[in-house]
């Protein structure tokens, strides 16, 4: 199968559908010198709505979270602990805040490590993942066996949402977790 760039339509679905389908796809970034980096996604996490106490939208609509209420297929990139940029893609219907966190890619286990490798910073916030010369997601036909797990690093969430199985991982990467 020839690799194809995912279109906006792919992201216009609930995060619980999009998140497992993103596992196995390729994140492709091109830097200002034209150097292209491609990494296979091995883990994602879904964050769904104001009721999800782990989701940034749980506190309602703010300047920071406005993008989560917007159109699907746009990046939500934020600084974590003042040093790591984390990258999410908005999914679902406009006005219903949800996103998928890119948690790990191949040998880059951890959302901060993968954004560093790709050169993703705050300038990517609000950028589309389609029709964008800097970044896109490609499908080359690889279909991993997916396992579901609890999300990571959300001790502030209520037990219901802290323990929910909304992390999706390529089962063949199990040894890395």
Mean pLDDT by 10 residues, the chain (177 residues): 90 98 96 89 96 90 92 93 88 96 91 91 94 95 96 91 95 65
Domains and CATH numbers, the chain: 4-172 (3.10.300.10)
Helix (H) or strand (E) holding 115: helix 111-118
pLDDT digits (tens, 9 = 90+) for 4-31: 999 999 999 999 999 999 999 999 999 8
| Distance between CA atoms of residues 47 and 88, nearest Å | 9
DSSP 11-55: HSS-HHHHHHHHTT-EEEEE-TT--EEEEEEEEEEEEESTT-TTS
């Amino acid at each position: 199968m020839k690799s194809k760039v995912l279109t906006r339509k792919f992201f216009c679905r609930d995060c619980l559908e999009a998140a497992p389908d993103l596992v196995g796809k390729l994140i492709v970034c091109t830097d200002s010198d034209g150097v292209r980096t491609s990494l296979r996604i091995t883990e994602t996490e879904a964050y769904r709505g104001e009721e999800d106490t782990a989701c940034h939208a749980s506190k309602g609509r703010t300047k920071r979270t406005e993008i989560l209420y917007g159109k699907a297929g746009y990046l939500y990139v934020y600084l974590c602990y003042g040093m790591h940029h984390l990258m999410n893609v908005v999914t679902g219907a406009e006005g219903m805040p949800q996103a998928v966190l890119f948690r790990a890619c191949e040998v880059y286990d951890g959302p901060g490590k993968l954004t560093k490798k790709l050169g993703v910073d705050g300038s990517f916030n609000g950028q589309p993942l389609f029709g964008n010369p800097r970044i896109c997601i490609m499908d080359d036909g690889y279909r991993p066996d997916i396992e579901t797990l609890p999300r990571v690093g959300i001790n502030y969430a209520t037990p219901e949402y802290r323990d929910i199985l909304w992390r999706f991982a390529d089962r063949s990467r199990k040894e890395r977790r």
